[in-house]
Amino acid sequence: MAHKYDDLAASIIQHVGGKDNIHNLAHCFTRLRFTLKDETKVNQEALRKTQGVIQLVMAGGQCQVVVGSKVDALYDLIRQTCGLGEDSLDGGDEGSHQHNPINALMNTMSGVLAPTLGILTAAGIIKGLISLFASLGWVSTASGVYMLLYAVGDGFFYFLPILLGFSAARRFKCSEYLGAAIGTALVYPAMVNIGSTLEVAGTILAGTPFAMDYYNTLFGIPIIMPGSGYTSSVIPIMLAVYLASKLEKAFKQSLPEAIRGILTPVLVLVITVPLTYIVIGPVSQGICGAIFMVVKALYEWGIVGGILAGALVGGGFGVLVMFGLHWVIISLALSNIGINGFDYIMASGGIGPMIGVAQGLCITLRTRSKKVRDLALPSFISQVCGVGEPLMYSILIPLKKPYVINILSGAVGGAPDGFGPDLLQPSRSAPYRPLEDHAVLELGGVQVQAIPVPGHTAGMMVFLIPEDRIALFGDACGEMTLLKKEALPAYAQALRHLQTYESQFDTVLRNHGTFWSDKRILRDNLALTEEILAGQDAAVPLQMMGVSGFAGRPQEHPGKFGNIFYAAARDASW
Give the burial class of 193: count Cβ atoms within 10 A of its Cβ; 0-12 exposed, 13-18 middle, 19 or more buried.
middle
Cβ atoms of residues 381 and 131 within 8 Å: no
Amino acid identity, position 441: L
- Specify the pLDDT at position 242: 93
- Specify the pLDDT at position 177: 94
Helix (H), strand (E) at residue 345: helix 345-349
State the Cα–Cα distance between residues 492 and 187, nearest whole angstrom.
36
pLDDT, tens only, 75-132: 889 988 888 765 444 444 444 444 566 667 777 777 787 778 778 888 888 888 888 8
pLDDT, tens only, 33-88: 888 888 899 999 999 999 989 888 887 678 889 887 788 789 889 988 888 765 44
Sheet of strand 547-551, all strands in order from the earlier edge strand to the far edge: 481-484, 564-567, 547-551, 540-544
pLDDT score of 448 more than 60: yes
Provide the terminal-to-terminal Cα distance of the chain, rounded to the nearest Å: 68
Domain boundaries, the chain: 6-87, 160-290, 440-567
pLDDT, tens only, 300-329: 787 788 888 889 888 888 888 776 667 667
The whole-chain average pLDDT of the chain stands at 81
Cβ atoms of residues 133 and 141 within 8 Å: no
Task: Band the pLDDT of 357: cuts 50, 70, 90.
Answer: very high
pLDDT score of 17 more than 60: yes
Greater confidence (569 vs 297) lies with 297
- Specify the pLDDT at position 96: 42
pLDDT score of 563 more than 70: yes
In Å, how far are 156, 356, 382, 390 from 153, measured between CA atoms? Answer: 6, 20, 11, 12
State the Cα–Cα distance between residues 181 and 168, nearest whole angstrom.
12
In Å, how far are 36, 110, 135, 509, 524 from 521, measured between CA atoms? Answer: 64, 44, 20, 11, 5
Within 8 A by CB and 6+ apart from 423, the residues are 303
DSSP-derived letter for residue 84 is P
Among 153-162, 229-238, 322-331, the range scoring the smallest mean pLDDT is 322-331
What number is the average pLDDT over the span 499-514? 80
pLDDT score of 523 more than 80: yes
What number is the average pLDDT over the span 282-294? 77
Greater confidence (472 vs 199) lies with 472
Query: pLDDT > 90: what percent of the chain?
Result: 17
Backbone angles phi, psi at 319, to 5 degrees: -65, -40
Architecture in CATH of 440-567? 4-Layer Sandwich (3.60)
Cβ atoms of residues 569 and 545 within 8 Å: no
User: Apex CA 541: angle with CA 526 and CA 534, to 5°?
Assistant: 40
DSSP states of 180-200: HHHHHHHT-HHHHTHHHHS--
Q: Report CA Rg, the chain.
A: 27
Q: Is the pTM of this model over 0.85?
A: no
Helix (H), strand (E) at residue 529: helix 520-533
- Specify the pLDDT at position 27: 76
Nearest to 26 by CA among 106, 115, 107, 104: 107
Greater confidence (295 vs 247) lies with 247
Among 15-19, 25-29, 395-399, the range scoring the smallest mean pLDDT is 25-29
Backbone angles phi, psi at 323, to 5 degrees: -90, -5
State the Cα–Cα distance between residues 352 and 435, nearest whole angstrom.
33
Among 150-164, 335-349, 365-379, 425-439, the range scoring the smallest mean pLDDT is 425-439
In Å, how far are 28, 404, 541 from 332, measured between CA atoms? Answer: 38, 25, 22
Nearest to 317 by CA among 307, 306, 301, 328: 328
- Specify the pLDDT at position 181: 96
- Specify the pLDDT at position 429: 39
State the Cα–Cα distance between residues 476 and 466, nearest whole angstrom.
18
Beta strands in 338-480 (DSSP E): 440-443, 446-452, 461-465, 470-474
Within 8 A by CB and 6+ apart from 315, the residues are 352, 407, 408, 410, 411, 414
Among 19-33, 45-59, 161-175, the range scoring the smallest mean pLDDT is 19-33
pLDDT score of 246 more than 90: yes
DSSP-derived letter for residue 436 is P
What number is the average pLDDT over the span 374-396? 83
Residue 60, number of CB atoms within 10 A of its CB: 19
State the Cα–Cα distance between residues 227 and 331, nearest whole angstrom.
10
310: left (phi over 0), alpha (psi -120 to 50) or beta: alpha
What number is the average pLDDT over the span 483-503? 87
Task: Band the pLDDT of 204: cuts 50, 70, 90.
Answer: confident
Helix (H), strand (E) at residue 340: helix 327-340
What number is the average pLDDT over the span 171-176? 89
Helix (H), strand (E) at residue 517: strand 516-517
Greater confidence (297 vs 342) lies with 297
State the Cα–Cα distance between residues 447 and 463, nearest whole angstrom.
10
Within 8 A by CB and 6+ apart from 349, the residues are 313, 314, 317, 326, 329, 333, 414
Please provide the CATH number assigned to the domain covering 6-87: 3.30.1360.60
- Specify the pLDDT at position 261: 86
Give the burial class of 1: count Cβ atoms within 10 A of its Cβ; 0-12 exposed, 13-18 middle, 19 or more buried.
exposed
Task: Band the pLDDT of 438: cuts 50, 70, 90.
Answer: low
What number is the average pLDDT over the span 422-442? 54
Greater confidence (287 vs 61) lies with 287
Greater confidence (561 vs 239) lies with 239
- Specify the pLDDT at position 13: 93
- Specify the pLDDT at position 31: 81
- Specify the pLDDT at position 570: 46
